[in-house]
Amino acid sequence: MTKKLFVKTYGCQMNVYDSERMAEALGGEGYEQVDSPEGADMILLNTCHIREKAAEKVYSELGRFRPLREANPDLKIGVAGCVAQAEGEEIMRRQPMVDLVVGPQTYHRLPKMVQALENGEKALDTDFPEEDKFAHLPKLRTSRGPTAFLTVQEGCDKFCSFCVVPYTRGAEVSRSAERLLGEARDLVERGVREITLLGQNVNAYHGAGADGAEWGLARLIREMAGIDGLERIRFTTSHPNDMDDDLIAAHADCDKLMPYLHLPVQAGSDKILKAMNRKHTRDDYIRLIERIRAVRPDLHLSGDFIVGFPGETEADFEQTLDLVRQVGYGTAYSFKYSARPGTPAMERDGQVTDAEASDRLQRLQGLLGEQQRATQDAMVGRHVRVLFEKPGREPGQMVGKSEYLHAVHVDGPAELRGQIAPVEIVESRTNSLRGRLI
């Protein structure tokens, strides 16, 4: 009899990818994924530890499953991902309902852990094993939507002073290029047209190439672009210091690489960048952007920002605003600094008050919002190519993404799904564009 698995994912795209792989691993144990926790035999939360709010959400979410557990004592509850890695056993102490805790590097062992659960035991595994989990995961043959994520690199050696990722995901590891090309071909055979290469520091990729040499991300992208039927390649997230010449050049000469780049800078003041251990200056970043835009003038740039880092003065913050004005972003994500256990910044003096941080966040988001609006409005009248993914909310409508990752709605037939079609943008709406098939 098939059992029902409900997976809920928080955090970054790497968690989205991991959730898919965990569901596949549990598929081999007779679990079938369902869309709601009601009636499920197992609930798995794939969690994020990046900010306090994200981490605490796990416990409130677990509390909400209590009635389900009371109604069905056989219901298994598992916590995976970065909170699992960071807190381990503590999770079971705080929430005894939890049967299973599995970190991001050991979920290929889920089948064995699930067997323990079925024997009435609890299971916990937060190792950083030697073996490559991906090599131990089953390969699936089911058809896929037009877009997919593919993790090429994991972990981070950068140790920005505010960030938990080097602790929750471990050291930087790149997967072999040959395996990745194989996986990409499989995805394309299953219907995928666009692949987003993922890594906590994806442009630090340095995997073993098919020719025995070490390949950087640009080489991997160029080889992947040779796969027939794969139309688009994206990658995220990058660190400014790993943006090498070849990767910059690929933005000019690799047609399948899309003109959208997420390149976080975090702050605009050199003093704060140094305190964050970013190992680049404001000027390094600006010059890097200039170089990339010189070869790809229509690039849409995205970024991440943190306000209220310890020691950030009003003058430092104004330099962030100034950098944003100077660079210009198509989209951006901004956050209030959150002090995280085990990170160097947590111990620092000069913690900024919450009221001050909220005020800065509001001002920064105001400016970024204006830029996003202006970028989107400037698309009206332009011709883009849209990869259609699914039906829109209104009947007869289809939605897809432009090269620049804007969501575009058009009136068109369901057969458009999985196809790339030329579209003229006719209207800019709150969070999407409306277009007309050409």
* CA atoms 240, 244, 249, 254: torsion sign: negative
What tokens appear for 430 in the block? 């709150």
Q: What strands lie across the sheet with 232-236, from one edge to the other?
A: 147-151, 194-198, 232-236
* CA atoms 159, 165, 170, 171: torsion sign: negative
Quick one: what does residue 340 bind among ligand F3S, ligand SAH, ligand SF4, none, with the CB cut-off 5 to 8 Å set by partner type? ligand SAH
Residue 163 binding ligand SAH, by CB under 6 A: yes
- Integer Cα distance of 10 and 22 in angstroms: 14
> CA dihedral defined by 160, 170, 285, 277, rounded to 10 degrees?
20
Which of 5, 86, 160, 357 contacts ligand SF4 by CB under 6 A?
A: 160
Q: Which stretch binds ligand SAH (CB under 6 A): 337-345, 353-361, 401-409, 429-437?
A: 337-345
Residue 158 binding ligand SF4, by CB under 6 A: yes
Q: Least distance (Å) from ligand SF4 to the CB of residue 239?
A: 5
> CA dihedral defined by 352, 353, 354, 356, rounded to 10 degrees?
-80
Q: Are strands 383-391 and 397-401 parallel, antiparallel or unpaired?
A: antiparallel
Which of 51, 232, 234, 417 contacts ligand SAH by CB under 6 A?
A: 51
Residue 162 binding ligand SAH, by CB under 6 A: yes
Asked, as a colleague might, if the bond just before 281 is cis with ω within 30 of 0, I would say no
Q: 4 or 51, CB closer to ligand SAH?
A: 51
Asked if residues 332 and 338 have their Cβ atoms less than 8 Å apart, the reply is no
Quick one: what does residue 159 bind among ligand F3S, ligand SF4, ligand SAH, none, with the CB cut-off 5 to 8 Å set by partner type? ligand SF4
Q: Which stretch binds ligand SF4 (CB under 6 A): 92-100, 159-167, 179-187, 287-295?
A: 159-167
Number of residues that bind ligand SAH (CB under 6 A): 18
Site track for ligand F3S across 64-83, x = CB under 6 A: -----------------xx-
Q: Which stretch binds ligand F3S (CB under 6 A): 21-29, 164-172, 231-239, 411-419?
A: 164-172
Asked if residues 44 and 7 have their Cβ atoms less than 8 Å apart, the reply is yes
Q: 180 or 198, CB closer to ligand SAH?
A: 198
Q: Least distance (Å) from ligand SF4 to the CB of residue 18?
A: 16
Asked if residues 61 and 85 have their Cβ atoms less than 8 Å apart, the reply is no
Residue 337 binding ligand SAH, by CB under 6 A: yes
Give the DSSP H/E element, type plus range, for residue 332: strand 331-336
Considering only residues 186 to 245 of the shown chain, the ones binding ligand SF4 according to CB under 6 A are: 200-201, 239
Q: Are strands 300-307 and 260-262 parallel, antiparallel or unpaired?
A: parallel
Which of 17, 128, 134, 159 contacts ligand SF4 by CB under 6 A?
A: 159
Site track for ligand F3S across 167-206, x = CB under 6 A: -xx------------------------------x------
Q: 104 or 166, CB closer to ligand SF4?
A: 166
* CA atoms 181, 185, 186, 187: torsion sign: positive
Q: Are strands 42-47 and 420-428 parallel, antiparallel or unpaired?
A: unpaired
> CA dihedral defined by 29, 35, 40, 41, rounded to 10 degrees?
10
Sequence-separated (6 or more) residues with CB below 8 Å from residue 93: none
Quick one: what does residue 338 bind among ligand SF4, ligand F3S, ligand SAH, none, with the CB cut-off 5 to 8 Å set by partner type? ligand SAH
Quick one: what does residue 240 bind among ligand F3S, ligand SF4, ligand SAH, none, with the CB cut-off 5 to 8 Å set by partner type? none
Q: 134 or 159, CB closer to ligand SF4?
A: 159
Output b/e per residue, 37-74; b: 16+ Cβ within 10 A: beebbbbbbbbbbbbeebbebbeebbeebeebbeeeee
Q: 169 or 278, CB closer to ligand F3S?
A: 169
Site track for ligand SAH across 251-290, x = CB under 6 A: -------------x-x------------------------
Considering only residues 186 to 245 of the shown chain, the ones binding ligand SAH according to CB under 6 A are: 200-201, 237, 239
Asked if residues 404 and 329 have their Cβ atoms less than 8 Å apart, the reply is no
Q: 237 or 428, CB closer to ligand F3S?
A: 237
Interface residues with ligand SAH (CB under 6 A) are 50-51, 156, 162-163, 165, 200-201, 237, 239, 264, 266, 304, 306, 335, 337-338, 340
Interface residues with ligand SF4 (CB under 6 A) are 156, 158-160, 163, 165-166, 200-201, 239
